[in-house]
Amino acid sequence: MTTGDSLNTDGLQRPSDRRPKAPPEVAPSVEIVQLTGRIVASVGVTIGVLANPGEHWVWLAGDDHWDSSPKVTYMGFRFSLDTGQEVNGGEAVTVTFPQPGAHWITAVGSTAEGGDIRSQPLNVWVDASHPPVFSVDLPGVNEVFRLDERGSPVEMKLTTTGDQFGPLTVSIAWDGQTQAGQFSGITFDTTIHLDPRPLGPQSISVTCTDPGGLQSTQTRPVMKLGAAPPLPLLWS
């Protein structure tokens, strides 16, 4: 009898158990597929998962090798949004984010064995469905400004609606100058300064940008004229 062999109870010589070490066990997991492309508020987007059932290893003595089997069998998935919505389905569902901004979503796989396998949250950014909507109330269209050598202050007034994705960043550009501000309500007021030169038509450009980078621009034309000449003296 050679070293490493053993004598069995039936008196026959058998090789000792030299089975290789089992491969590592793999835990089941659920992962939400990273989204690509732009997600827009109130527009459906497909969310998918990668569902790994895990691996359990069993030694098959007759075949002299390790055989794998899944640890769990997935029966369905539940997707939860930070908005409170829940959607049940298979490995891919369509969800809708009603509001723009930063959001998250999680997935839970229900198994035939009675347990739940949870994913890590996936953070997503949702854009507004349209650029900012606003109006320029002041100055008026083609409003005339009489300027002396000091120029003149001009009131800028903007209004918007309460359902805009804000706060909006405001940028005002005119005559080679710029001025910025933040539009956090439904009205925005500030003052710019018109230089006395050059005279003539002047365009004031107003751009509003939302937190997602969507922007819209309006241009307000005004007229710059010199100061009115003095009235002639009347001699009696």
Domains of the chain with bracketed CATH: 8-127 (2.60.40.10), 134-226 (2.60.40.2550)
pLDDT of residue 236: 54
Alpha-carbon gap, residue 125 to 166, rounded angstroms: 14
pLDDT for the residue numbered 159: 97
Distances (CA, A) of 28 to 52, 73, 108, 110, 148: 5, 10, 12, 12, 78
In 3-97, DSSP assigns E strands to: 5-7, 13-15, 29-32, 39-40, 45-52, 56-60, 65-69, 74-81, 86-89, 92-95
- The SS3 of residue 102 is strand
Distance set, CA 162 to CA 165, 185, 187, 210, 225 (Å): 9, 7, 10, 13, 37
Cβ proximity of 165 and 132 under 8 Å: yes
Sheet holding 134-138, edge to edge: 134-138, 152-160, 187-194
pLDDT per position in the chain (236 positions), as tens?
444 444 445 544 445 457 888 889 999 999 999 998 999 999 999 999 999 999 999 988 887 889 989 999 999 999 999 999 999 999 999 999 999 999 999 999 999 999 999 999 999 999 999 999 999 999 999 999 999 999 999 999 999 999 999 999 999 999 999 999 999 889 999 999 999 989 999 999 999 999 999 999 999 999 999 886 656 666 65
CA distance 110 to 92: 14
* pLDDT at residue 229 in the model: 65
